[in-house]
């Protein structure tokens, strides 16, 4: 079963959840703010995603702007970034879905189709 990290008040997350429901795809839904992924879970998601770790930051979030992360990320180590992300679910770009092999950050209908092998 896929794991779906989401924030129910997020419009993109609701759109992704609706897509999953409409396609009868069962997921373990985890509220990303109430239960943010641990540093090790984030490391695994990051490594399997093939993305730059900076892509895991919610750059449009208030917290991101308040902390001035646009400039700070340039000099942070990977460990520091993972620690920061695991400390606050509002800093993490969402939704994140994984089937254990692949990881998709954000909602891209085409990528969801490919992950779940839908035509």
**CATH code of the domain containing 74:** 3.40.30.10
pLDDT-derived band at 98, boundaries 50, 70, 90: very high
Confidence check: pLDDT of 119 > 80: no
The pLDDT score that the predictor gives to residue 118 is 82
pTM of the model: 0.94
Q: Taking the CB of residue 13, how many other CB atoms lie within 10 A of it?
A: 22
Pairing, β 103-105 against β 96-98 = antiparallel
Range of the domain at 85: 2-115
From the number of C-beta atoms within 10 Å of its C-beta (0-12, 13-18, 19+), residue 75 rates as exposed
Confidence check: pLDDT of 67 > 90: yes
Confidence check: pLDDT of 95 > 70: yes
Dihedrals phi, psi of 23, to nearest 5 degrees: -100, 15
Distance (Å, rounded) from C-alpha 89 to C-alpha 37? Answer: 8
How many domains in the chain?
A: 1
Mean pLDDT of 73-80: 96
DSSP-derived 3-state class of residue 58:
coil
């Amino acid at each position: 079963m896929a794991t779906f990290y989401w924030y129910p008040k997020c419009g993109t997350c609701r759109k992704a959840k609706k897509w999953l429901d409409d396609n009868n795809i069962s997921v373990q839904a985890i509220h990303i703010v109430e239960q943010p992924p641990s540093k090790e879970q984030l490391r695994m998601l990051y490594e399997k995603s093939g993305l730059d770790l900076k892509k895991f930051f919610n750059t449009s979030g208030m917290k991101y702007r308040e902390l001035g992360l646009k400039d700070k990320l340039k000099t942070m180590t990977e460990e520091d970034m993972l620690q920061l992300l695991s400390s606050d679910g509002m800093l993490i770009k969402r939704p994140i879905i994984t089937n254990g092999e692949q990881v998709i950050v954000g909602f891209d209908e085409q990528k969801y189709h490919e992950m779940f092998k839908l035509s």
